[in-house]
Structure 1
Amino acid sequence: MTFEDAYRRKLASPHDAVTIVEDGDTIVVPTGVGEPPTLLEALSDRRTEFTDVRVEQILPLRPFGYLDPETRRHVRHNAYFLGGPTRKGAQEGWIRTRPSYFSEMPALIREGLFPADVVFAMASEMDEHGYFSLALAPDYTMAAVSRARAVVLEVNPQVPYAFGDCHVHIDQVTAIVEDERPLTAVGLPEIGPVQQAIGTHVAELIPDGATIQIGFGAIPDAVVMQLTDRKDLGVHTEMIGDGILTLVEAGVVTNRLKTAFPGKSVATFALGSERLYRWMHRNRGLEMHPVDVTNDPYLAGSNDLLHTINATIEVDLAGQCCSESMGYVPYSGTGGQSDFVRAANRSRGGKSFIVTPSTAKGGTVSRIVPTLKPGAHVSTSRNDVSHVVTEHGVAHLRGKTNAERAEALIAIADPAFREQLGEQAQEMHLL
């Protein structure tokens, strides 16, 4: 039987493909744009036919019909990380979360600590050797493919065929559905004066030859826009987006000086424009790998001059960063922040930057606080945090005493809150 014969034999309608799911199954879905909309819409349409099925994923992008508190006994969402469609459900308690470092998710799946009975994933068209590329998000999905009872691919010609460890063979596939709709496109966020100022502070500390990891958002993109005069930057990141593409097109990214994956940009998921997805297609300068490769602190940190940029919600005077909750109320998830902070700490000449505006709610609330809110989820510990950056400057905390940390953080707080923070630090015997 040829690969084309096997493909035709496994081709199914979305309505039929979801019947592969059995009661009690856990369906693993890739990050973001890697989620297969046709399959998840079919699952949503048929959700009341199932009992105790769970869909597990990082960062969903679309509000699928199965995200419904009234039918959660049929199909329930468990979140590795929250996005807009799932945040409210998690805060109300009908969506559950699985906290974990992003880098450890593949191991948790392989060890059976995260269940993975079925995989639903977006894939490129099959190549002449029978392989599909899960270019948009190999993340933890490749580990789930190796363990799942059934693998269902949604093949779309818009999905790029990327290189790296992101390929699934037709022999591993249980069923295939086809769709041709455009991929979800996410443009660059709007950059305001606060984000611009933070970006300037960070960019000034990134030298030629650095390898960078950039998260999503206005502040990371503000950093990127100020690196267009650098030379020989490398990319080792979890997310590849249009900001990094801008640097590639400007000739700034060469990956020439990287010590891990020299000559290659490396990422585990893509989130950007149609232009980004076209650029990824059969691009020998890019490799997409599972997250236990991209986010492994030892491997990422083996790059000299690794500079990582990630955002947080609030920072206390000890340097603890809460990046995933508002007090005890869930907001996002652990993700890869700690992975890359630790990687930068390991890197020779590396730096990690935790970035945040100094205030929230129209300037009425300080994001630099004496202590984190009760129940806050500590995303990056005081022992790991290195540089905290607001629009008012950079606090370098690594190696500093408690008093020095408090002084440095108060100095980058909004001026309206500095006196009060100083008094609170004295009450806490930090100053």
Structure 2
Amino acid sequence: MTRFVNSAAEAVAAIGSGEFLWSHSMAATPTVLLEAVAARAQDLQGVNIMQLHLEHAEALADPALEGHIRNRCFFAGKVTRDLINQGRADYVPIFLSEIPKLFRRGEQRVDTAIIQVSKPDPHGNCSLGISVEATAAACDVAGRIIAHINPNMPRTHGDSFINLKRIDYAYAEATPLILHESRETSAVDRRVGEHVASLVEDGSCLQMGIGAIPDAALACLGDRKDLGVHTEMFSDGVLDLLESGVVNNARKKIARGRVVTSFAMGSRRLYDYVNDNPEVAFLDVEYVNNPVVIAKNKKVMSINSAIQVDLTGQVCADSMGHRIYSGVGGQVDFVQGAMYSEGGKSIIALPSTAQHGAVSRLVSAIERGAGVVTTRAQVDYVVTEYGVAELRGRSLSERAADLIAIAHPDFRESLAREARDSLGLRV
């Protein structure tokens, strides 16, 4: 029986010491409820808040929470990155598709799920809205569900529905949705995007993240036909292609005619588009990111980024040396899916340099302490603003030569020397 309460503080009052909480994540971060949890932290001991990437959750970074509330992160973000690297929060490296399994198999208990949902329909069904990800699984097993009912939350289709009968405490308040406006695309981003787009064929099924490079690539696809989308994350870059009919999902095997995603983050225009739109299916990330499911679509194009790529093709995407920066996420899920898709391609796209051109992101060796997220046997193409290096079926020496050719010219000579002297490669 749902108990409707008059304040966020009252909604979270039942949370006790030692609990493992799951927080709805991404643009659906229930900031109102998380701030209420942080406000009563002194009453609690040893509470763990599990999460993906949280937005606008600065209250959870307060040093005063030490010993009371600890963040347990499956992906690091702006709020939690420093906490993890200071030892004040925990990072769990795991494929995104595997997180729901932790919950459903009982490997990770979930005492309370804290979520943000749409207002209920006449049948009492609320929607998890713009972020299903692992939250649907957490709600399946949670001992208690606390919900912020936000009339501004879009009502989405798929695995997003949760009935009021399953919610223990509900607090209603209209608050603005979290927006992510696209930044201006640089000349480098545009060139990377153009090279990525050159690999996209008619009938391809796209997976892409958020950011300037995916948006730049999508902007170059206006002349393609019958593109599909099966992606963990859905953002504004796809909207123009959907509205023009370039993306029609007509050739997909999985959910033909519909976009498949697990969460969305972007502008008000994006949220308006997905609201009550049966052509966009928000599904459990255990399904969306399952490589076996992904591979059933033909011509899967997995487009991801990296922090560093070494000259053999190893991809570091979650850390800078020992410092955790982001997370394993769904990159390998989709790289694997693309590998086994008929006509599929896995692409790692990144600018050739970082720190305003001071360092190369193509390196002879991954920085000491950094993690390899995607192995050198899984990457088909690496793309920078200087071109495309095809790695599939290539030897280490051939890979190194092709990767050096798309490095920034300022670093090519030193990379070639390191390849010969340190790696023993012929370049």
TM over 0.5: yes
1:96 and 2:90 correspond: yes
1:19 matched to which residue of 2?
13
Whole-angstrom CA distance in 1 between matches of 2:365 and 2:414: 13
Q: CA deviation at 1:352?
A: 1.3
Q: CA deviation at 1:157?
A: 1.1
1:115 matched to which residue of 2?
109
Letter in 2 for 1:57: Q
1:242 matched to which residue of 2?
236
1:48 and 2:57 correspond: no
Whole-angstrom CA distance in 1 between matches of 2:329 and 2:80: 15
1:30 matched to which residue of 2?
24
**Aligned pairs (5 A) from 1:223-234:** 223-234=217-228
1:429 matched to which residue of 2?
424
1:305 matched to which residue of 2?
299
Matched-pair contact (CA < 8 Å) for 2:118–2:128: yes
**Aligned pairs (5 A) from 1:138-157:** 138-157=132-151
Whole-angstrom CA distance in 2 between matches of 1:243 and 1:30: 24
For residue 424 of structure 1, give the secondary structure of its aligned residue in structure 2. helix
Matched-pair contact (CA < 8 Å) for 1:213–1:307: yes
Letter in 2 for 1:400: R
* Higher mean C-alpha deviation, range 117-126 or range 69-78: 69-78
Deviations 1:99-122 (A, max 9, x none): 100011100111222331110111
1:220 and 2:208 correspond: no
2:349 matched to which residue of 1?
355
Whole-angstrom CA distance in 1 between matches of 2:188 and 2:348: 15
Matched-pair contact (CA < 8 Å) for 2:24–2:51: yes
Matched-pair contact (CA < 8 Å) for 2:204–2:299: yes
Letter in 2 for 1:344: A
Whole-angstrom CA distance in 1 between matches of 2:386 and 2:135: 40
Matched-pair contact (CA < 8 Å) for 1:40–1:64: no
2:403 matched to which residue of 1?
409
Whole-angstrom CA distance in 1 between matches of 2:60 and 2:23: 14
TM-score scaled to structure 1, two decimals? 0.96
2:321 matched to which residue of 1?
327
2:164 matched to which residue of 1?
170
Whole-angstrom CA distance in 2 between matches of 1:169 and 1:75: 29
1:68 and 2:58 correspond: no
Whole-angstrom CA distance in 2 between matches of 1:12 and 1:144: 25
2:258 matched to which residue of 1?
264
1:275 matched to which residue of 2?
269
Unmatched segments (≥5 aa) in structure 2: none
Runs of 4+ residues deviating >3 angstroms: 9-12
1:285 matched to which residue of 2?
279
1:207 and 2:206 correspond: no
Q: CA deviation at 1:12?
A: 4.5
1:59 matched to which residue of 2?
53
Matched-pair contact (CA < 8 Å) for 2:34–2:57: no
Matched-pair contact (CA < 8 Å) for 1:203–1:226: yes
1:3 matched to which residue of 2?
none
Q: CA deviation at 1:78?
A: 1.2
For residue 278 of structure 2, give the secondary structure of its aligned residue in structure 1. coil
1:382 matched to which residue of 2?
376
RMSD between aligned residues: 1.2
Matched-pair contact (CA < 8 Å) for 1:51–1:74: yes
1:366 matched to which residue of 2?
360
TM-score scaled to structure 2, two decimals? 0.97
Q: CA deviation at 1:189?
A: 2.1
Whole-angstrom CA distance in 2 between matches of 1:58 and 1:350: 28
Whole-angstrom CA distance in 1 between matches of 2:210 and 2:424: 37
Unmatched segments (≥5 aa) in structure 1: 1-5
Deviations 1:276-308 (A, max 9, x none): 111111101111001111111110111101112
For residue 21 of structure 1, give the secondary structure of its aligned residue in structure 2. coil
For residue 379 of structure 1, give the secondary structure of its aligned residue in structure 2. coil
Whole-angstrom CA distance in 1 between matches of 2:14 and 2:64: 23
1:130 and 2:124 correspond: yes
